[in-house]
Structure 1
């Protein structure tokens, strides 16, 4: 009888040890899963943070309000569930999906604001005033214009791109504002080029000389019409 009792006790202890090991393994697996979900959520939040920085830079530099939207919705429910213990995978996945959705919405609106603002900023530059700059300043403005056009073509800009565009645009404006007033005849000639397509027969040797005198000949293109 004592032997039977001893065997039963050993069996119970063995069963308890197995249960403890199983519970420990389950807890370890849950912890590993939570760690992975946290890393995925942290990555999603990093993307959202970048878009928030972009939106704020755009609003500051362009003067166009850009509401952030409901960027906190993904975390509010997760915080509530985390207050009572480790959230399940589903809670992490739901939070990550909401963060991703908020990121995509903000990115789409920011990209539209970027395209509209940069196009308007470049198109509104009073480039005819370049005629009143010396050759060195003209080259500097042309280089800055090239950089502005490269920047504006970026489909997924960053906050750094926004700040760089704003700074270069401001520099070009300053140069143009400080330019001497160009001769009326030169402004009239440039206005003709802006108003319609001109052929060689439409311009005179005096027109070409005037453009060269003020360093504006490099901004005029001549193309042969095929056919």
Structure 2
């Protein structure tokens, strides 16, 4: 789908692509995957110059925010579900998402085995493990960080009870030509760049909902209990 018209005066929640012109159907599309989804490989071992090789730390920061504390009091929100969805989509577009949509979560989208960010677990063990603090004040910080991490992990162990998903897509820009300056940094990193950018938008939205007093869980290409492709 291409953008062939001006979106200067369009309502923000519609985004820049004419998704409202696509035909709708009542029944969900049947999606069947032959193999379970795997964690997206962020790094590019074949290209030492790739920007993707420096993304892992930022990916882990996003995945650390998959779950979090929920505000004890719920903020007032619109009673109309369409208005709620429009509000969330408008926020995603403000944060530079390419496409955003709201859908029900079918039971078939739940993964038997979740996608796990193994590097994040290893990083947290190094950061909060025994001997990671070199003074009493640092030990307090480590202890608090470890408690917050364990609380978040405990929340992720709970069965996913959410009924709807906010799906966020980030488009691939054009590929750099091999002869362009900086091409070695960019070539082969489209999926990693888009996944990180979508995770950033998703993390902001999940935290926003939790601040409003509503539980939310972030699902990314590196950590998820859902088959994200199924929701598309």
TM-score range, shorter chain: under 0.3
More strand by share: 2
Higher relative contact order (CA 8 A, sep 6+): 2
Per the normalisation by structure 1, the TM-score is 0.23
